[in-house]
Chain A
Amino acid sequence: MTETMQLGDMLRRRGISRRALLKYASYMASLMALPPSVAGAMAEGLAKARRQAVIWLSFQECTGCTESLTRSFSPSLEELIFDFISLDYHHTLQAASGEAAEAARRQSMRENQSKYLVVVDGSVPTADGGVYSMIAGRTNMDVLAETVEHAAAVIAVGTCASFGGLPEADPNPTGAVPITKLVTGKPVINIPGCPPLPQAMAGTLTHFLSFGTLPELDALHRPRAFFGETIHDRCYRRSFYERGLFAKSFDDDGARQGWCLYELGCKGPVTYNACASLKWNGAVSFPIQSGHGCIGCSEPRFWDRGGLYKPLSAGTADVRKLIGIAAVAGVALGAGAAALARQRRASTSATEQ
């Protein structure tokens, strides 16, 4: 339902003071590495904004992205986002279902033309005409194309929507593709992660709400504020890495002393995300802190990189058989060469004057 009231008034009505709004804005600004002075502008922008229409499309997904966003442990802050947006379509959260739900989507598209945000989670299957995921009798491809046509921007949430994710992993039977493959002509942000950090999702939405623009993105369309550094860059176990102290197996001495998990396949050095600084579940912990290496879940094709436990310095191809054949081939070629040389030698003796 489209709201005509400004957000600032609406919040005051609900007992959320201007001070609380400012506090929220400061928190979001600092999360996104924006200067403190921006917080005021952000609060102003938010106060004057109308509730933003958001249509959330769910395709080949596990609903983990929604879980991450809604299970945040600081409800006063993350949940605030739901006060700022009008979530007009969301399979899990919306009250309506069936035809009524689809009708709500179409109505939002009509009433907010060129102004609504499309959030997508899950990859889109394209094999066999896209039959492997259908909603209301229509393929995901169709629904996506129809919905983004008059959208302001598209936010691909989760690694599936950003890069293809698990469905896209070898052998990719459904022909799953990321959203960027199918949406051209509209700005697309990727917020990858399996699932993404709730702050990343909420923060990006807040930025758009406050300033009407998308935050600064990297080459993979990820907001730099959350994906500008690697896990390795902020990992608290970094000093052990530098000193060469590594856990050799799970729960061994080194592991118990909190040593670096490089040897157990940690992909921290090549994974861009904010888990090491923001952490999870209200900053309680993150995988490395719990003793498991980063699996690189916010990077493309992280499932097909040779295995979660293969260290970064090891090759990913299985070369044992190849090397065996290569060895036999090498010796055979060498023997052949020696035979040729012997023959050449013999022929010179034979024709010697």
Chain B
Amino acid sequence: MSAASAPRPAFDRQGERSDEARVDGAMRSFVREFGVTAALHMESCVRCGMCAEACHFYVATGEAKYTPVYKLEPFRRAYLREAGPFAPLVRGLGLVKKLRIDELQQWQELIYDSCTMCGRCTMVCPMGIDIAELVKEARHGMFKAGLIPDRLALMDRTAQQWGSPATPAEDLPDILADVAKQYGVRIPCDLPQADILVTAAPAELVEHTKALADAAKILNRIGAKWTMHHGGFDASNIGFNNGDMQLQERLTRAIVDTALQIGAKIVLLPECGHAYGAARWEAAKWYGRALPVRIVHMTEFLAELIASQRICVKKIGETATFHDPCQIVRRGGLEAAPRQVLAALGLELIEMKDHGVGAYCCGGGGGVVSNARAVPLRHKVFEIKRQQIEATGAKRFVTSCGQCHITFDMGAKYAHWDKKTESLLEIVADNLAE
């Protein structure tokens, strides 16, 4: 770093609005979040500090500022001033100070660089506070204030234009045609009618395109009537990550409306964590009722196919360990599914010290792996997983989320670690029995 260059500010800023307008935007958004559950949680913190012990950012660095509930501090103050039971008194007597722009700016790092919304803190809190969910809600306000990391803002704008941060919708048919040719599989695109609408994760549309072929192989094996569609093809939902609710809604509707349009009964999600959160649990709120289509994650789809014997897999007699993606297992409820698949594959599962619902986060979720500013922190955090994986002594290392996969790849490269990360979908596709 040259002496002449000015020090980089610790926060990024989008747009040209005044500071006052930004704070106002954040406050308005915060206020809209406070329903019963959020309010109960905001009221219930007893400052016991146990959440810090669960958070990989605190555990890896020992820095108190990464305490999960501390990430909510501006949000908490907004709650007490605006929606709490004593709010008029709080405002009138000045018991809680108004939010300042510099505080929101300072908090950007805590909310975006040092939180993956993994929800491990939620698991330890003796008051049962869902801190991860509240961070997600706080991000809505940060987005409205134009105070999110620049990389994420860039991806947000890209997705707004293209329907995906990876590739424009109109390029989809070409990409699929290339993949189909490269791997020798049939990949239907833009069929007017199908039972299953298949979606992808951004990395699968760019460098990890084998995943598309793997999915195609399995779907074709079972004779499913399926298609991908340019109307809704990227399930990762960067709006869900960034806190851009408008984009989140748009991307969700793109998939669900497309599915309805083609008469599909099932939307098949790729190996992606936040895709599951956005589509399986949050999609219904945009429609005001339960969706008329079933949202299925690739992992549970594979487990169901194996259980119903619509596919059979060869037995690989090796040891393996599994990384549980946070949004799929801890916050998604699919702890058993990947283990059923691994068992069917004859892989001897050696669990990490912290596994299943209590597993440590890879450290890259929630947009952290896309956040250039967070790289040094992410590398520190990665050591936790690396040591746990090594300690199992397992030969193979598997996961079922594309972002986790990328995080592990990047982390391994930085740490000069030779462990290969494998995708559950890929192992199944490569070991289909006749």
List the interface of chain A (C-beta within 8 A of B). 333-334, 337-338, 340-341, 344-345, 348-349, 351-352
Contacts and interface: CB of A to CB of B under 8 A. Distances in A.
B83 A345 contact: yes
13 contacts: A337-B86, A337-B88, A338-B85, A340-B87, A341-B34, A341-B83, A341-B84, A345-B31, A345-B83, A348-B32, A349-B32, A351-B28, A352-B28
B28 A348 contact: yes
Interface in B45-86: 82-86
Contacts of A352: 28
B28 A334 contact: no
Nearest to B39: A341
Contacts, number: 30
A351 B32 CA distance: 12
Nearest to A334: B85
B426 to A, nearest CB: 44
A352 B25 CA distance: 9
B interface, over-half SS: helix
Nearest 9 A/B pairs, CB to CB? A341-B83, A348-B28, A337-B85, A348-B31, A345-B31, A348-B32, A345-B32, A334-B85, A344-B82
Nearest to A337: B85
Contacts of A340: 87-88
A344 B83 CA distance: 8
A333 B85 CA distance: 8
B87 A341 contact: yes
Contacts of A348: 28-29, 31-32
A54 to B, nearest CB: 65
B128 to A, nearest CB: 21
A351 B82 CA distance: 16
Interface in B286-314: none
B248 to A, nearest CB: 15
Contacts of B86: 337
A352 B27 CA distance: 12
Contacts of B87: 337, 340-341, 344
Given A341-B82, A345-B83, 11 more contacts: A333-B85, A337-B84, A337-B85, A337-B88, A338-B85, A340-B87, A341-B87, A345-B31, A348-B28, A348-B31, A349-B32
Nearest to B81: A344
Contacts of B85: 333-334, 337-338
A345 to B, nearest CB: 5
Contacts of A338: 85
Contacts of B32: 345, 348-349
